Amino acid sequence: MSEIFIRILLKQGTLDNPIVTPDTPAQKTIWPILAMIVVLLLVAILVFAFRRTDPYVQNVLALQGDSLQGQVIFQLNCAGCHGIDADGRVGPSLHHVASRKSRVGLIHQVTSGKTPPMPQFQPTSQEMADLLKYLESL
């Protein structure tokens, strides 16, 4: 619609800038370049945002987890909904959950409480590292 309007204005002589018409070679080459710049900026912003993880997550990821301790933590805090063997009850099965969520995603899932009815759970950094190791073993 705007292309037709611009062509009408050009024919009537009220718009004498040929660069604004979508048929010019300059415009055909500038739009893909601008689109690429916008995409690259968005990717850079996302990469920067993910690198700036909160200190709790950085601390958890720096620790060596113990899968057996993680299983104990799971049994005490998670098995009521996810089942003794993490095969799902009220909550979903957690088998192969590490292939569906990143380590950071798993930490946020456990600690955020933003997926009702899952409650917010605030384990210590070592407990979370242990639980993460257990979840990755499922």
* CA dihedral sign, ordered 74, 77, 82, 83: positive
pLDDT digits (tens, 9 = 90+) for 43-93: 777 666 655 568 999 999 999 999 999 999 999 999 999 999 999 989 999
Same domain membership, residue 68 and residue 23: no
* CA dihedral sign, ordered 63, 66, 67, 70: negative
Contact 88, 82 (CB under 8 A): yes
Tell me how many domains the chain contains: 2
Same domain membership, residue 59 and residue 46: no
Same domain membership, residue 60 and residue 45: no
Same domain membership, residue 122 and residue 102: yes
**Percentage of the residues of the chain whose pLDDT score is greater than 70:** 72
Q: Provide the mean pLDDT of the chain.
A: 82
Same domain membership, residue 95 and residue 39: no
pLDDT score for 5: 59
Same domain membership, residue 79 and residue 46: no
Show which of 51, 67, 85 is a domain's final residue.
51
pLDDT digits (tens, 9 = 90+) for 38-53: 887 777 776 666 555 6
CATH code, domain with 112: 1.10.760.10
Residue 129's pLDDT band (cuts 50, 70, 90): very high
pLDDT digits (tens, 9 = 90+) for 11-22: 555 455 554 555
Same domain membership, residue 66 and residue 88: yes
Domain that residue 96 falls in = 55-137
Number of Cβ within a 10 Å radius of residue 62:
9
